[in-house]
Amino acid sequence: MRGKKWLVFITGLLTVLSIIVVLVISKNQCSKVYDISLAIFGSSILGLIMSLIEYFFEKRLAMEKFISSSTVYIDAFLKIKPLCFDQPLDLILRNMNEFQSDERRIARNELKKWLKENGKDDSEKNCDHVIETAKNSFKQYINNLEKILEISFNELDFSYGNLDFIFNKNVRNDLAYKDIYLRIEDMIDLLKRYQIHFDYLKSGEGSFRQCCKLIVDINNKLFVMKKDDNCICIYNVFVEKLINSTNEFWGLYSKEPVKDIEPLLVFSKNEYTSKK
């Protein structure tokens, strides 16, 4: 796209210079210069029209490619299910201690106490079931994150680098970069840093509890939980912002009015019935 933009600049400059020469130099003063300038003007104006057509066509393709590359990540992050347990998250994390210790024993007793106070089965078997269910949720979360890291970031990187507008350059710097590209890049960088711990865990050397804490940190960046009228609702704010930004970005080309999507609800649960 950068080549098309510079072609517009060059043909536009030739058009302006040649018309200036034609207007300044009369045919009687220097007929050869006048004729050459007039010929250059005719050719350059035609070239300018053609280069503008190619530029706007290339611009559309570049914007479509950038949105398409962004949508790949949007779809991937949509597949991640938020962490949601009936039990307090802090209590779940303290029961993820792999080592036999007083801390683990205390956490186990607190879990049994919580289950009993909320009218649920506080037997050892059910405690094991609660902890095992939580472990499976964390493991599935890790698997989904690793699938996201399998996506080639080069596609998004190249498609963003190909955006080079003549006008509205702030659109590229603010909307395309800050609201879309950088938001995805920051999240991917975070996942890559945490992947080291996940790899250690798979090799049998890492701490599952530490990995759970990292997952909670990621989860808090992707989702927001709200309580309203005894109902717990979880929204995917990360994807919601990406969708709104990509829609706004494309709306600049289509010239169609763009509205933000409804809050992206991904989970809801009645708080009262969950305690039964």
pTM, two decimal places: 0.80
Predicted pLDDT at 97: 78
The domain in which residue 54 lies consists of 2-275
The pLDDT value recorded for residue 26 is 60
Read off the pLDDT of residues 23-71 as tens digits, 9 standing for 90 and up. Answer: 676 655 666 766 677 677 677 777 777 777 777 788 888 889 999 999 9
Read off the pLDDT of residues 111-145 as tens digits, 9 standing for 90 and up. 999 999 988 888 889 999 999 999 999 999 999 99
Residue 198 has pLDDT above 90, yes or no: yes
The DSSP code sequence of 201-254 is HHTT-S-HHHHHHHHHHHHHHHEEEEEETTEEEEEEHHHHHHHHHHHHHHHHHH
Q: Output the pLDDT for position 8.
A: 64
Residue 276 has pLDDT above 50, yes or no: no
Look at the chain and report how many structural domains it folds into: 1
